[in-house]
Amino acid sequence: MEKLIVHGGQRLTGSVQISGSKNSALPILAATLLTAERCTIRRVPDLSDTNYMLRILGELGADFERASGVATISATDIHPDAPYDLVRKMRASICVLGPLTGRLKKARVSLPGGCVIGDRPVDLHLRGLEALGAKITVDGGDILVDASEKGLTGARINLMGKHGSTVLGTDNVMMAATLARGTTIIDGAAAEPEVKDLADFLIAMGARIEGAGTNRITIEGVEELHGVDHTVIPDRIEAGTFLAAGAMLGDRVTLNRVQPAHLQVVLDELQKCGFPLEIGTESITISANPDARGFDLTTQTYPGFPTDMQAQFCALACAVRDASSLTETIFPQRFMHIAEMKRMGADMDLQGATARVRGGKPLKGARVMASDLRASAALVLAGLLASGATEIHRLYHIDRGYEHIDDKLAGLGAQLERAKDI
Ligand code: EPZ
């Protein structure tokens, strides 16, 4: 295993190129199962999660190649049984359920385990597939989907859960519905840009979809889908993470190859705090502001403040000489980073699902433990702010979702290095 040693206190300046979106690439890679023809996907970030997804596609029988950000997949002859040992390593593997059901009318995928950000149910995914006519059973920890008898028939489905819409649930039902007979309407659909990007990919394959990017998506089923060449949208959460770094320590940090519109609520919050922002068509420049004001945020489904940015803004709150609060409504337990930041001297506490931060207190480097992808990135940010060295253990959490984050930060002037974690 590896750890990251961050030597804090360096100012950041210069430009960084944002990678393709992990949360767009994963369902789009899964969607290649919907056709026997070759698909080419560009700007696929080099992450352990995307590598896992490609391996799962390979185990399902697809041929794939990957060379510097371009993945080509031919799911010519596939079977419906996803490999447990790979699926258990990545919860997002659940998004092969929809395309396997759509293409083969059968699927076997292990129930995803929980994770540190909380329980990760898939009841809404299964509700949607059942509404399309599939028979769902759970056997020995596996989800078995069977629509081989009658096939799939379009239906009107509401996918709203107690924490709002479901991103991968919407993806799964939309993918299956592309090859169902008739019309499917998904109410309470997730409106995230990554759902829209998946829909654009499916439409390019010949699917008939309207309303993606809103809370109501209509799909007219078709007989079959064909191969396509598609470029994945930029990663708005990676971009948000670098914006937080720039707000904490930046003298004009510029992000390139981003889509500012995907980050509107994050940009609005940063502007309200008083961080100077210059927004271009595909770039954003941000600088720190010692007189920035605090913020009171609540995470919401898109276009609200993203839960995937909550931990990073907890770190940013430490740099602001003011009080801030962050309330988590999507994954109420998503606060593993609080205890670790307090070990660095952060003045913060948790009241229910609300973190309260009294910023401006200097942080001191410490040995901390990464726990999930975004909490780990937040600890890197805290380490950049702290005096002295911060050692972040279990670095594999970060490598799941950030492409070469240490090289990118070093390119902005950060001092950090990987080391063996004995
Ligand atoms: C996606 O996960 C993202 N992952 C997550 O990003 C992100 O945090 C999440 O959406 C919310 O935006 C990918 O896209 C690969 P959900 P997903 O289904 O689809 C509840 C990261 O850091 N729910 O939208 O799995 C669920 O418990 C990752 O990149 C049900 O109750 O999340 C949660 O409270 C972490 N029943 C809420 O809905 C279900 O059947 C939103 O979950 C499904 C979900």
Could you read off the pLDDT of 276-311 as tens digits, one per residue?
999 999 999 999 999 999 999 999 999 999 999 999
Same domain, 193 and 262: no
Same domain, 46 and 127: yes
From 231, 259, 285, give the residue that closes a domain.
231
Least confident of 161-165, 210-214, 322-326: 161-165
What is d(CA 275, CA 289) in angstroms, rounded to the nearest whole number?
6
Q: What is the pLDDT of residues 141-162, one digit of tens each?
A: 899 999 999 999 999 999 999 9
Query: Is 70 exceeded by the pLDDT of residue 188?
Result: yes
Same domain, 296 and 245: yes
Query: Is 90 exceeded by the pLDDT of residue 227?
Result: yes
Q: Which residues are known to be catalytic?
A: 115
Task: Give the number of the atom of ligand 1 that is nearest the alpha carbon of residue 127.
Answer: 40
Cα(305) to centroid of ligand 1, in Å? 14
Same domain, 244 and 202: no
Same domain, 261 and 131: no
For residue 326, give both structure tokens: 């962050």
Same domain, 40 and 149: yes
Beta strands 183-187; 156-158: pairing state = parallel
Ligand 1 near 308 CB (within 6 A):
yes
Ligand 1 near 250 CB (within 6 A):
no
Same domain, 74 and 139: yes
Query: Which residues, 6+ apart, have CB-to-CB distance to 139 below 8 Å?
Result: none
For residue 339, give both structure tokens: 């205890």
From 197, 231, 265, give the residue that closes a domain.
231
Same domain, 102 and 238: no
pTM of the model: 0.97
Ligand 1 near 367 CB (within 6 A):
no
Same domain, 30 and 124: yes
Ligand 1 near 377 CB (within 6 A):
no
The average pLDDT across 312-321 equals 98
Q: What is the pLDDT of residues 361-387, one digit of tens each?
A: 999 999 999 888 999 999 999 999 999
Same domain, 252 and 198: no
Instruction: Answer positive or negative: Cα dihedral of 253, 255, 260, 265.
Output: negative
CA-nearest residue for atom 5, ligand 1, is: 308
From 213, 231, 249, give the residue that closes a domain.
231
Q: Is the peptide bond before 121 cis (omega within 30 degrees of 0)?
A: no
The parent domain of residue 310 ranges over: 2-19+234-420
CA-nearest residue for atom 18, ligand 1, is: 166
Average pLDDT, the chain: 96
Same domain, 172 and 132: yes
What is d(CA 242, CA 187) in angstroms, rounded to the nearest whole number?
34
Q: How many domains does the chain have?
A: 2
Query: Which residues, 6+ apart, have CB-to-CB distance to 253 below 8 Å?
Result: 12, 13, 14, 15, 16, 242, 245, 246, 285, 286, 287, 412
Q: What is the pLDDT of residues 17-56, one digit of tens each?
A: 999 999 999 999 999 999 999 999 999 999 999 999 999 9
Tell me, rounded to whole angstroms, the distance of Cα 229 from its chain centroid. Answer: 22
What is d(CA 55, CA 246) in angstroms, rounded to the nearest whole number?
35
The average pLDDT across 191-207 equals 98
- Of 193, 123, 192, nearest to 158 by C-alpha is 123
Same domain, 174 and 238: no
Contact 147, 178 (CB under 8 A): no
The CATH number for 9's domain is: 3.65.10.10
CA dist 321 → 45, 358, 359, 411 (Å): 36, 8, 5, 27
